[in-house]
Structure 1
Amino acid sequence: MSKKSSGCTRAMWGLPQYLLAGSVVASLAACGGGSSSSSVIGMPPPVAKALSCDDSMKAAFAPDSNTQVLFVKAFKQGDPLSLAATPPSNAAKATADLCLVKLRVGPGNPGPATAPSTTAGIGFEIWLPNLSTWNGRIRAEAPGAFMGSGGITSSTGIGMLSLAQFAAANNTVTVVTDGGHADGPFGTFLTLPDGSPNTFGWNEISRRAVHEMSLKTKALAAAYYTKPADKSYAYGCSSGGRAVYQSAQSYPKDYDGIVADAVSLDQTQYFPGLMYPQLVMQRDLADKGLPLLTKAKRDAVSTAALQACDTAVNGTHDGYLTYHDQCKYDPTKDAAVLCTTEGGTNATAACVTKVEALALNKMWYGATVDGSVPDPAIDNGTSIIRTSQQLWWGRKRGTDLENTAGVANNAPSLGILGLVMDQIAWNLQDLSYTRSDYINASGTGKNGWMTMPYSVYAQSFYQGKVLNDQVFANIDANNPDLTPFRDAGAKMLSFVGVADPFVSLEAQLNYYTRSAALVGGNTKAQDFHRLFLIPGRGHCGGVGSVGASSASTPQISADQMYAKIVDWVETKQAPETLPISSPDGTRSRPICMYPKRVKYLGGDVNAAASYACQQS
């Protein structure tokens, strides 16, 4: 290539092709193509025309035939962040000028208009800060559960207000995806009308949505600001965390930095594992004519577990576990929680029988092939390498069990566990096992999980593994090979709460260990991938230990972790520890990078300076 043509290439680098098309003749002339008139020699390259924040963008932004601009709205500083004709009086106000753009990326999935599996494409809600103040960054978010949100593509609602506020406060482009569907956090869209798997939809939420979010947001930012983004970041919690892990595995060059919170890796295993507390109560209690565990009983035993184990760090009660794997509390041997009729000393309505105490041990240990559980003194279920009997890990002792073992009127209180039942039915390829409100043209769910024996439950795990690649588009996202992500120069911070009532942190530790082994061990892995375990943290934030105070438990937010990944990517400041504090300012504690552990050195037990991180 001649020097003249090379200079032309450099002048046009980074601008989307459709921005250059309107001035292609002038560009060619300036670079030696077309007319050779001396009047154009040495002319600067043409300046691309920026997109306007109005309906003209619907025709002007067309990076490919699958992309459609659905909605554009400009907000001035002080405007209510609302799309309603008459904004509510309590609507949040824009703290800076913003441009909202809603995109849809096809092709979508054809079918009957009434079927949840019929879609027009993947939706994106993008917030663009002021043209003159953009800091060159993109922050993308993959929501949890199954992502779906009708608000992301509608012209009447905002899908994620927090991203609008972040964009305004930080001069950062923000974006969120609906994963290719609009029917909320549950998964009816993943079954076709004839009852067969919607493999197209599985691929959308497994990998394509977050990939297209990267491509289209970068293209829109380049067109709006007439320059490419400097850095692009992604955040996701729970299933959103799984999605950003999938991004690192499948599209390692999409994001410069990733924050993965409470990652639900191995969805075909993790989701069925979440249902285990309910299954235990059905098989071990209901089948024997016994009532399900009341909240008072669950909380009393969980509190006893905390009292037995939360002094391990500093000799005083923290109110949450830090060394989760050292707690071997066994309620079947604790007279203080056992009913007097069982040889215990507890005469209250919150006392437990030995059958109930054993059921709690099962919930803490995790799913097994036959519903058995070993003595916690021998195996408390926290090894990152499971035995042949252990299908998945359980909840941590002292964690609030309301979300997985909740009961209302002596019946399971499912809440978000509805999507757990869906995965079991998909694994077994039989919709009768899922919830009764799972509507499909081929037949609705029949709550078959409630009468499922342990053997069939175990089969759902085995079949899920087999179908992960064949049907579910690798929704498990458990490929430990992150070397392409490393080689792209990208960085990732992962963190998970020890008291998370949903995600089992052992799954994260198992993945990290396998991934680190491929690059030469933890020290090599920490060059690009770091993991932190947050004591007391619940699922995607808050607190998870029973009875814990949200005010006095040290916490960390997604925004704080975002700041850490930006520092790591842009200034090479890799976090060794995370100094976190309680909202009321009374307690602080360093959080150690795995596999280091916090050690009490002496002094004020509520002060971070009294602790250090040491190799475990």
Structure 2
Amino acid sequence: MRTFTSNALTVPILAVLAGCGGGGGNVVALTNLDAQASEARCADIATKSGLQSTTLKTRYVAAGTRRPGTQTSGDFLPGHCVVTGSVDPRTGVDGKPYAIGFELSLPDHWNGRFLYLGGGGNDGTLRDTSLSSSISIGTPSPLGQGYAVVSTDAGHQGTSASFGADPQARIDHAYNAHDKTAQTAKSLIAWRYGRKPNYSYFSGCSGGGRQGMMFSQRFPDYFDGITAGAPAMRVSSGATVAAMWNNRKFTDIAPAGADGKPVLSQAFSNGDLNLVSNAVLAACDAGDGATDGMVQNTRACKFDPAVLQCAGPKTDQCLSAPQVGALKSVFGGPVNSAGQALYVTQPWDAGIRDAGWRAWTLGTSTTGTPNSRYNVLMVDALVNEFFTPPDPTFNPLAFNFDTDPARMQAFSAIYDTYRDDRLSAFKGRGGKLLFIHGMSDPIFSADEVVEYYERLAANNGGIDATRSFARTFLVPGMTHCSGGPATDNFDSLQAMVDWVERGVAPDVIAAKASASNAYFPNRTRPLCPYPTFARYKGSGSIEDAANFSCVAG
């Protein structure tokens, strides 16, 4: 591999930036360059592509020399050019350097499609463009299939939310960096191949899901198909409030450590969480016709953790009254002192036993210093970015549910994506939207995506009419974006391509559990569009998707 570097260019940006939507028509691979010519073309991008205020570096990866990500076996990637760039470099008001970073991979054998990979967390890093989307795991590399693929750091470098001290960095993170990245990528694609993409796709989960929804609202003509997994649509005004609520409720019942501080991870033992999971299954598992460790009929699932409350002292076979109370408060959602809901409820699901659920809510620290993602990731975002102005020394256990949510509204107005429940422009230009959400997601409740989808449907002629451009798929057992007692491997990108290019709407998405799944390796299931669910037909192996069908919920 060779690396070519250029300095920032100042010539006018290509006129092709005016046309950022999908080009339509049939996908036809262009005439391919041989390896030598392709490598030379890759080097030329840095000096001849004509991007304003952009520093570019390129490296050419020859066919058969690299596999996707860090894989050590399997198929090699085809020859491709990797372009990394920095758009609009500047110094922030906090004195730190900023730029909109991106990575774009351009295959020698292009299939005419463009894929934007969403980020997550506080962003600040470039997702490896040789990999698939975080909501389409276990599937072949899109780059390996011939897609041109881009990712961005969203306008700042490093995963800390301390960039929130700079107002422009906040705007970049909310939407501007994504606008610039999409435009820049399409410009480079047009320069490299002589035309813009036939079809453009976005796929991401969590923060990436929010980014997809943002594109459907602010830039509705950029993408033909958007897959939004566990979309963080109310992260800066709802889900983070819930994280502070949950953290408080669990910390309040945690036993004290040697230093007298509560040890959050010990509020519930793994055995306690198994009790809850088993009780949820006892109440709801059979509602889909099969007792198989998964709750498919999610709408019919009713559960009260009071059934687990000890009649006497706490034992391994029951929960204490404080534990039951904490669960009711957490799954009931945060409220202020007047009883007004500040976020949605959480659905009961068997994935509460999974390590992925614990990682967000309770963590594993055995000391009074918690390491749950509520305390590490969400507090960082709250105090540095979601509060206006930032309040870096804020104590999350002192969150005031009457007054502190108001401190989050200014940023919510530009960052959150739950308010637009019509998507008129995106629908009008023929865009397609997939929501995918794990039922045991401990940070963005699946009830939130259902609530949004029902509002969207109410404004677009009902569920049946809305299914023409937007569909929701719930994944029983799945925690945040993947993992859990779930069939969490599925090719959502191909489902979207079939919908956009062939007009074949996803009436089902084939899903499986990986061979390493700790609960039911290699199990397959159909993922069904809401409000339908996968019901057992009554005969055949419960490990086989062929023995389930999607029925009305």
Question: What are the Cα deviations for residues 240-298 of structure 1, in whole angstroms up to 9, with x where unaligned?
Answer: 10011000001001011111111111112112212322211334557999765143354
1:357 to 324, 327, 341: 324
- 2:226 alignment partner in structure 1: 258
Give TM-score scaled by structure 1 length.
0.73
- 2:204 alignment partner in structure 1: 236
Q: CA deviation at 1:101?
A: 0.6
State whether structure 2 residue 493 is matched by structure 1 residue 562: yes
CA contact (8 A) 2:118 2:204 kept: yes
- 2:154 match: secondary structure: coil
Please give the alpha-carbon distance, in whole angstroms, between the structure 2 residues aligned to 1:252 and 1:331.
43
Percent identity reads 22
Please give the alpha-carbon distance, in whole angstroms, between the structure 2 residues aligned to 1:592 and 1:78.
38
Question: What are the Cα deviations for residues 592-615 of structure 1, in whole angstroms up to 9, with x where unaligned?
Answer: 211223333321334334333233
Q: CA deviation at 1:304?
A: 3.4
- 2:53 alignment partner in structure 1: 66
Counterpart residue type for residue 77 of structure 1? A
Alignment of 1:205-220 (within 5 A): 205-220=173-188
Please give the alpha-carbon distance, in whole angstroms, between the structure 1 residues aligned to 2:261 and 2:177.
47
State whether structure 2 residue 437 is matched by structure 1 residue 496: yes
State whether structure 2 residue 243 is matched by structure 1 residue 274: yes
State whether structure 2 residue 543 is matched by structure 1 residue 580: no
Alignment of 1:32-431 (within 5 A): 52-63=40-51, 65-69=52-56, 71-80=57-66, 94-106=76-88, 108-111=90-93, 113=95, 115=96, 118-119=97-98, 121-130=99-108, 133-149=109-125, 152=126, 159-162=128-131, 166-184=141-159, 186-191=160-165, 198-268=166-236, 269-284=238-253, 292=264, 293-296=267-270, 298-314=272-288, 316-334=290-308, 338=310, 340-341=312-313, 347-348=315-316, 351-370=318-337, 388-389=340-341, 391-394=343-346, 396-398=348-350, 399-400=352-353, 401-402=357-358, 403-411=360-368, 412-415=370-373, 417-425=375-383, 426-429=385-388
Q: CA deviation at 1:394?
A: 3.2
Please give the alpha-carbon distance, in whole angstroms, between the structure 2 residues aligned to 1:241 and 1:183.
20
- 2:64 match: secondary structure: coil
Q: CA deviation at 1:228?
A: 2.0
Counterpart residue type for residue 62 of structure 1? G
1:461 to 382, 399, 405: 405
**Number of residues paired by the alignment?**
497
1:610 to 547, 550, 553: 547
Larger RCO (alpha carbons 8 Å, 6+ apart): 2
Please give the alpha-carbon distance, in whole angstroms, between the structure 1 residues aligned to 2:335 and 2:276.
21
Q: CA deviation at 1:477?
A: 5.0
CA contact (8 A) 2:526 2:545 kept: yes
Counterpart residue type for residue 295 of structure 2? L
- 1:144 match: secondary structure: coil
Gaps of 5+ in 1: 1-14, 20-48, 153-157, 192-197, 373-386, 433-443
CA contact (8 A) 1:261 1:495 kept: yes
Please give the alpha-carbon distance, in whole angstroms, between the structure 2 residues aligned to 1:58 and 1:289.
55
TM-aligned CA distance change 1:331 to 1:489, over 3 Å: closer
Question: What are the Cα deviations for residues 79-129 of structure 1, in whole angstroms up to 9, with x where unaligned?
Answer: 24799xxxx99699853111111122215453455x3xx41x211101110
- 1:457 match: secondary structure: coil
- 1:383 alignment partner in structure 2: none
Gaps of 5+ in 2: 1-12, 18-36, 134-139, 516-520
Alignment of 1:455-534 (within 5 A): 456-469=400-413, 473-534=414-475
Question: What are the Cα deviations for residues 292-342 of structure 1, in whole angstroms up to 9, with x where unaligned?
Answer: 51433542432333332342334543223223344333333335xx2732x
Q: CA RMSD in A?
A: 3.3
Please give the alpha-carbon distance, in whole angstroms, between the structure 1 residues aligned to 2:307 and 2:77.
58
Higher Rg: 1
TM-aligned CA distance change 1:612 to 1:53, over 3 Å: same
- 2:287 match: secondary structure: coil
Please give the alpha-carbon distance, in whole angstroms, between the structure 2 residues aligned to 1:285 and 1:224.
58
Please give the alpha-carbon distance, in whole angstroms, between the structure 2 residues aligned to 1:159 and 1:487.
33
CA contact (8 A) 2:263 2:365 kept: no
Please give the alpha-carbon distance, in whole angstroms, between the structure 1 residues aligned to 2:254 and 2:513.
39
- 1:595 alignment partner in structure 2: 531
